Chain A
Amino acid sequence: MKQRMIKIIVLVFVLAVSTFLFQSYGVSEKLSRFVVIMKNIAYNLEHAKPAYEDCNFSISDDEIKSIDVDKHARELESSIDKKKKAKRKKVVAPEPLAPLEIAADEIREEERLTHDKTRLVKAKMVKLEDLPDKFKPLKKYLHEPFKMGACKICHTSKNNKPGELVRKNIVDICYSCHKTRYTKKFDHKPAKDGRCMDCHDPHQSNTKRLLKADSINNLCLKCHDKRSKFKNKAEKLFVDMTLKTKHKPIVKKSCLECHDPHTAEYKSLLHLDAKMDLCLDCHDDVKEIVQHSKFKHGGVNTSKRRCLECHDPHATKYVKLLKKDRVQTCLGCHDEEVKSDEDGGMLMNIKKHLKENPNWHGPIKDVKKEGGCSACHAPHGSNNFSILRKSFTKNFYADIANKGFFCFKCHTDKKIKKQYIKSDEHNITSFRDGEVNLHYLHVNDRKGRTCRACHDEHASKYNHLIRDYTDFNGVKFPLRYIETKNGGSCAPACHKRFEYDRVYPKGIGQ
């Protein structure tokens, strides 16, 4: 009985507590709200419209193919970039540039000014004969106001000083007539500072445009010569035109072929981008090669200074306006492993290679006669790999006798085509065992080895440019070449050690 009683009491107690909790925490309300929400969801699931309705687009496969996904992606990207940039700009708004001091009221193109006499009616004209003595005898070209005797345009005679000017700044006087405003990106320092008189004479001169020198080039060189007094300012501003090779336009015409004396859109007061466009504007043949060749030279194509990487635009000691001598120019960059533009591989460190291997290939050895690196490589670009001037192969095996490979431009192809070399033709090749031509043996086959299998085209430790290691699909095997008086021997990966002798044949290839 007791146990039952306790059970009942506990039950009652639990019920009481639960009802109390039910009311105090508003569980019933929450339940009812939950029911309402669920009902709503159920209703929406049944009746609401789907967010994306089914629709029938009939697009053919061709149309889908014609859509350039990459292009759209790029457009999207660029628009996003633009937005980002706009945001950035808002944050750092650049202040508007202060107008140039020398600004005139009007902006117009430079033109030859002719003076309107009516404007000068009130001015008292000075006759040419009445000019001060220092202007006599008169020179070839005269400033027009000077010619007319309208001294009063520029000078006053208030204080009876002979050279007193109308205004304090000479520039203001110049710009009052010559209303061209120099507003391009880069200005010549004297023009910007208003030192017109540094170059031009206000009265008369023997050269056109009233210059203060006998020619345009000499005027420029007054300041920009390497030996001038301004030399210490910035090295690159100065040229040495006494050097042997000069850029033809400078000699035949003037500096103004490339530079503008007052202002220009491009750096160094040039008409076009100095790195390349300006050069290619005249050098059409190079333009064709640079732009359309299959393999491009990184030095021209992707370098920082483009043409100027190797050439100096004014004058140098060396041929082709190169900054250094021919091979040295190339070694300027190729003194470390450089990434190739062709296949992304690394090009060898030629400088180190030449230093380590004393026997050099003819063109590198005798640069003046044979032409250095550019005897084989076209420095601006080529349609053959490694920017070679003529075709060659990268393969280890090739039927090389039947293809006009580059090497045979200089080396005779009898070397590889004759199976036996008779006594009167011994100068053709010394790689022979008696009369058996071992070149023929190695090369004339379906699996003929190419020249580069055994010979290094640049430099080697051994005679005849025999390689130290031959590269067979990425693995380097040593040739183990030993030269003897009348022959030699070789033990590459291809065969065990074979000996040959020109005088006492060892019997190879019989």
Chain B
Amino acid sequence: MKLTNSYTRIFIFICMSFVTLFAQNNLFNIVYPQDNKLHTELTLNVVIEAHSQNFDTLKIVTPIEQINIDLNNDKSIYCKGISLKLGENRITVRSYKNKKFISEKIKHVYVSSQLSHQYKYPPIKYKNSYFHNDKNEAKCLRCHDMSVNEVKDVAFKDITKSNCYKCHKNITKEKYGHAPAVNWLCTECHNIKSKDKSKYGITESISKSCFHCHKENKELWDASRYRHEPLDSGHCNKCHNSHSSPYEMFLRKPVNEICMGCHKDKHAKALPTKNSKCGFNDKKQCTDCHTPHATNRPFLLKEVLNKVKK
């Protein structure tokens, strides 16, 4: 009894040590994102832990692009910004040595959007997960200063000095940049330690953060009789991208597309375009007659209609 027991123990130990050795030698580790991550932005940073003695290049393959990373002796953590598409993204990381394929790892990321019916409800297996916790940050400390170095309510004169800028600069690359984001005052909004243990979470209804600065708008809208639902529920970020956007007013899409995302039925019914087959065009926008926030007129019609009537 005793003999066999000790033998089995030794055997298991040897097996385990082999496994660990094997893992160290031939595998790399994707620190972030975790598998089945739910995401809302179209950009994402991939963090990979790999040792240069085993491979010389890594290749990240996404539905949109392929990125090569050359490994060097100094580093063991590699960080790369990638672009994603809406819906399910399959991110494959392959390792090579002397152009010989060695191993690969796959992670799934789902980018959801509140503005389209198709991607509004992600499959249930996808969960929110965040990078910024102490365990993950410890891995970056060798190269990056992971502390928040912004002075509260005072923007950087030189934005490149922000510690957030180095990794997250992709987020502000679009034409129209929101002032706090472009000036890297991240903690104006990302100031809550969320349930999911991210250090820089946001409030559940984002409007709290928005109205911290946009006080005048809040006063005006609160006094109005009819309010648009996303405004009332505090989801400003449903239509606006709080970082940067290619469209004016930091909208996530062109105006009409945004409206149609929820008000699908209005596409053919809407009055100015009732008889035209093409529906809306660039010249006529929903916001010509409707205000997207709040008003005293029913159907969120604008206060002064005469100007847009043709």
B182 surroundings in chain A (CB, below 8 A): 493
Q: Per-residue 0/1 for A464-505: is the Cβ within 8 Å of any B Cβ (1 yes, 0 no)?
A: 000001001111111010000000000001101000000000
Pair A494/B179 contact, Cβ less than 8 Å = yes
Distance of A493 Cα from B183 Cα, bound (Å): 7
Pair A477/B155 contact, Cβ less than 8 Å = yes
Is the CB of B264 closer than 8 A to any CB of chain A? no
Pair B157/A473 contact, Cβ less than 8 Å = no
Is the CB of B212 closer than 8 A to any CB of chain A? yes
In the complex, 9 of the A-B residue pairs with CB atoms within 8 angstroms, ordered by the A residue number, are A469-B154, A472-B179, A475-B188, A476-B154, A477-B155, A477-B179, A477-B183, A478-B155, A493-B180
Pair A480/B157 contact, Cβ less than 8 Å = yes
Is the CB of B196 closer than 8 A to any CB of chain A? no
Distance of A493 Cα from B154 Cα, bound (Å): 12
Is the CB of A397 closer than 8 A to any CB of chain B? yes
| A476 and B157 in contact, given A493-B179, A493-B183 (Cβ under 8 angstroms) | no
Is the CB of B65 closer than 8 A to any CB of chain A? no
Is the CB of B307 closer than 8 A to any CB of chain A? no
- Which chain A residue lies CB-closest to B157? A478
Residues of A within 8 A of B (CB): 395, 397, 469, 472-478, 480, 493-494, 496
Is the CB of B265 closer than 8 A to any CB of chain A? no
**Min distance, Cβ B219 to any Cβ of chain A, angstroms:** 11
Pair B179/A474 contact, Cβ less than 8 Å = no
Distance of A494 Cα from B176 Cα, bound (Å): 10
Among B168-183, those with CB < 8 Å from A are 177, 179-180, 182-183
Distance of A474 Cα from B154 Cα, bound (Å): 9
Number of chain B residues close to chain A: CB under 8 A: 17
| A475 and B213 in contact, given A493-B179, A493-B182, A494-B179 (Cβ under 8 angstroms) | yes
A472 surroundings in chain B (CB, below 8 A): 179, 213
Task: In the A-B complex, list the 3 residue pairs whose CB atoms are closest, starting with the nearest.
Answer: A493-B179, A473-B213, A476-B154
| A473 and B212 in contact, given A493-B179, A493-B182, A493-B183 (Cβ under 8 angstroms) | yes
**Min distance, Cβ B153 to any Cβ of chain A, angstroms:** 5
Q: Which of B153, B180, B213 has the largest count of A CB atoms less than 10 A from its CB?
A: B153
- Which chain B residue lies CB-closest to A492? B179
Pair B155/A474 contact, Cβ less than 8 Å = no
Q: Which of A474, A477, A478, A480 has the largest count of B CB atoms less than 10 A from its CB?
A: A477
Distance of A472 Cα from B179 Cα, bound (Å): 10
- Which chain B residue lies CB-closest to A468? B157
Other A-B pairs, 14, CB within 8 Å; known A475-B155, A478-B155, A493-B180: A469-B155, A472-B213, A473-B213, A473-B215, A474-B212, A475-B179, A475-B180, A475-B188, A477-B155, A477-B179, A477-B183, A478-B157, A478-B183, A493-B179
**Min distance, Cβ B209 to any Cβ of chain A, angstroms:** 12
B185 surroundings in chain A (CB, below 8 A): 475
Distance of A295 Cα from B43 Cα, bound (Å): 52
Distance of A469 Cα from B212 Cα, bound (Å): 19
Distance of A89 Cα from B179 Cα, bound (Å): 65
A494 surroundings in chain B (CB, below 8 A): 179
Pair B216/A476 contact, Cβ less than 8 Å = no
Cross-chain contact of B153 among A397, A474, A480, A493 (Cβ < 8 A): A474
Distance of A469 Cα from B155 Cα, bound (Å): 8
| A473 and B214 in contact, given A493-B179, A493-B182, A493-B183 (Cβ under 8 angstroms) | yes
A469 surroundings in chain B (CB, below 8 A): 154-155
Pair A474/B157 contact, Cβ less than 8 Å = no
Pair A397/B183 contact, Cβ less than 8 Å = no
Distance of A469 Cα from B151 Cα, bound (Å): 13
Distance of A157 Cα from B66 Cα, bound (Å): 130
A474 surroundings in chain B (CB, below 8 A): 153, 212-213
**Min distance, Cβ A356 to any Cβ of chain B, angstroms:** 15
Pair A397/B155 contact, Cβ less than 8 Å = no
Q: Per-residue 0/1 for B179-206: is the Cβ within 8 Å of any A Cβ (1 yes, 0 no)?
A: 1101101001000000000000000000
Distance of A478 Cα from B184 Cα, bound (Å): 12
- Which chain B residue lies CB-closest to A397? B216
- Which chain B residue lies CB-closest to A469? B154
- Which chain A residue lies CB-closest to B178? A493
A476 surroundings in chain B (CB, below 8 A): 153-155
Distance of A416 Cα from B182 Cα, bound (Å): 29
Distance of A397 Cα from B188 Cα, bound (Å): 22
**Min distance, Cβ A445 to any Cβ of chain B, angstroms:** 15
B188 surroundings in chain A (CB, below 8 A): 475
